[in-house]
Chain A
């Protein structure tokens, strides 16, 4: 692999806002229904299971807008601010309900943040949610706004019988970025690493995505995750043992485990935020809902490394430090573990119906 890290001559440095910022609120959402891998295997193969235990599936009346509304309400409850203080609502997803008509305006209206806001939907495969957060850091960190919301949420598409059908799940999280003095978790810096990589795409008006031959692993996920993480650690003078927790984008259990081991993290540092075995890959929500599970249990002073990955391709790395405000705020809304514990398994027939894979006319 080519050298990509901070020792490279033209490395421009980490992204650090002029004004210190952090997360002042966060909220997760996982829908109620679960499709066990054994159900996918029962229909399409002779095998008994797949890479994860089960994946989270939306009910028939849910989509990225409704899930974002609930996660956003949880984030506002934790932040304890009026939604009118938000100056932006940005939603990253690859499953916005409309091709043209923003999800963000509906969510902003529902949470009471309209009309004095920036609003837009972002798309960068699984990285769109963290891109929304980086944009919010810029808005707040420049002093143009005091609070901004970044959401990553997906109802991931998996083609029937495809390998992705085992893992393509539904869920995500919302974050409110605000001034550091009001933060439950400080954002020290971010660093993003982006190249044109043909690993995965979905063309306009296509229902299901395509994989780019053998691009998925080393040239895509690992190259970008490792470059972003190594650069972040080298430029900030940190090593794996300085972090209590690490969260990586998690398309399956193996990829984040291998990335963590390569970077020198121990399994116990990533286990809290590794949700893919029980909710599947929530795409734009995957890394950031792993982080909500960590924030639900972290202690003040804990240092967290989060690295997202989006096909196409790129990674955003975040260096985070939990503050003592976490203790009073995290109980103000439903925790990630509570959403995961609320589970109703469904069979493949109901899955096909709930996810709209049946043509009724």
Chain B
């Protein structure tokens, strides 16, 4: 049971809220209060756009504890438009192949249940192929 952790991380997980460095303008995700670029203190919240591209990916067919029922699924390193690299599941692939460089966008989805079906539902970011608008 990790209820305090889920609660503490809700803003970054639900809405991809990280930080921006007031000294060098570097965008930081996940938030860590110290800028990895200039080592200055960085506590200003910053909501990422959610747009990015697939930097690398792999297919999970044997999921770890809590993810057994999700497998098979694809997990990716996503290079956000603003710079940081985040690890997340890809979703809504609908059988479409994944390519490095594929444009993706953040969506908030169910990640897993904390424990069994009596536990709290953990929501967080995943990425899906960018939706093409009709002409």
Question: Which residues of A pack against B, CB within 8 Å?
Answer: 31-33, 59-63, 65-66, 69-70, 97-98, 101, 106, 109-112, 334-335, 337-339, 341-342, 344, 360
Query: When chains A and B are docked, how far (Å) is the Cα of A97 from the Cα of B111?
Result: 14
Tell me if A32 and B121 are in contact (CB < 8 A).
no
Task: List the 8 closest pairs (A to B, CB-CB), nearest first.
Answer: A344-B94, A110-B14, A61-B109, A61-B110, A69-B108, A32-B92, A66-B109, A338-B134
Tell me if B131 and A338 are in contact (CB < 8 A).
yes
Tell me if B133 and A334 are in contact (CB < 8 A).
yes
Query: When chains A and B are docked, how far (Å) is the Cα of A60 from the Cα of B93?
Result: 12
Tell me if B15 and A111 are in contact (CB < 8 A).
yes
In the bound complex, residues from chain B placing their C-beta under 8 Å from that of A111 are 15
Question: Which residues of B pack against A, CB within 8 Å?
Answer: 10-11, 14-15, 47, 69-70, 89, 91-92, 94-95, 107-111, 120-121, 123, 126, 131-134
Tell me if B110 and A335 are in contact (CB < 8 A).
no
Tell me if B69 and A110 are in contact (CB < 8 A).
no
CB-CB under 8 A for A341 and B134, given A61-B70, A110-B14: yes
Query: When chains A and B are docked, how far (Å) is the Cα of A167 from the Cα of B115?
Result: 33
Main secondary structure of the interface of B (DSSP, over half): mixed
Tell me if A61 and B15 are in contact (CB < 8 A).
no
Tell me if B69 and A62 are in contact (CB < 8 A).
no
Closest CB of chain A to B95's CB: distance in Å? Answer: 6
Closest CB of chain A to B48's CB: distance in Å? Answer: 13
Tell me if B95 and A98 are in contact (CB < 8 A).
no
In the bound complex, residues from chain B placing their C-beta under 8 Å from that of A70 are 107-108
In the bound complex, residues from chain A placing their C-beta under 8 Å from that of B110 are 61-63, 65-66
Tell me if A33 and B134 are in contact (CB < 8 A).
no
Query: When chains A and B are docked, how far (Å) is the Cα of A360 from the Cα of B133?
Result: 38
Tell me if A61 and B69 are in contact (CB < 8 A).
no
Query: When chains A and B are docked, how far (Å) is the Cα of A97 from the Cα of B70?
Result: 18
Tell me if B108 and A66 are in contact (CB < 8 A).
yes
The listed residue (B15, B91, B92) touching A110 by CB distance below 8 A is B15
The listed residue (B10, B15, B94, B108) touching A32 by CB distance below 8 A is B94
Closest CB of chain A to B57's CB: distance in Å? Answer: 17
Closest CB of chain B to A253's CB: distance in Å? Answer: 23
Tell me if B10 and A109 are in contact (CB < 8 A).
yes
Closest CB of chain B to A149's CB: distance in Å? Answer: 16
Chain A residue, CB-CB nearest to B120: A101
In the bound complex, residues from chain A placing their C-beta under 8 Å from that of B121 are 63, 65, 97-98
Query: When chains A and B are docked, how far (Å) is the Cα of A110 from the Cα of B13?
Result: 9
Closest CB of chain A to B17's CB: distance in Å? Answer: 8
The listed residue (A33, A97, A334) touching B131 by CB distance below 8 A is A334
In the bound complex, residues from chain B placing their C-beta under 8 Å from that of A101 are 120
* Known A31-B92, A66-B109, A360-B69; 6 more pairs at CB < 8 Å: A60-B70, A61-B89, A69-B14, A101-B120, A339-B131, A341-B134
Chain B residue, CB-CB nearest to A68: B108
In the bound complex, residues from chain A placing their C-beta under 8 Å from that of B89 are 61
Chain A residue, CB-CB nearest to B129: A342
The listed residue (B14, B94, B108, B120) touching A33 by CB distance below 8 A is B94
Query: When chains A and B are docked, how far (Å) is the Cα of A106 from the Cα of B111?
Result: 14
Q: Which of B92, B94, B108, B121 has the most CB of A within 10 A?
A: B108
Tell me if A61 and B91 are in contact (CB < 8 A).
yes
In the bound complex, residues from chain B placing their C-beta under 8 Å from that of A31 are 92
Closest CB of chain A to B128's CB: distance in Å? Answer: 8
In the bound complex, residues from chain B placing their C-beta under 8 Å from that of A65 are 110, 121, 123
In the bound complex, residues from chain B placing their C-beta under 8 Å from that of A61 are 70, 89, 91, 109-111, 126
Query: When chains A and B are docked, how far (Å) is the Cα of A110 from the Cα of B15?
Result: 5
Query: When chains A and B are docked, how far (Å) is the Cα of A110 from the Cα of B134?
Result: 27
Query: When chains A and B are docked, how far (Å) is the Cα of A59 from the Cα of B134?
Result: 22
Closest CB of chain B to A335's CB: distance in Å? Answer: 7
CB-CB under 8 A for A66 and B123, given A32-B94, A33-B94: yes
CB-CB under 8 A for A344 and B91, given A97-B121, A110-B15, A112-B15: no
In the bound complex, residues from chain A placing their C-beta under 8 Å from that of B126 are 61
Q: List 11 A-B contacts (CB under 8 A).
A: A32-B94, A61-B111, A62-B109, A65-B110, A66-B108, A109-B10, A110-B15, A111-B15, A335-B134, A337-B134, A360-B69
Closest CB of chain A to B98's CB: distance in Å? Answer: 15
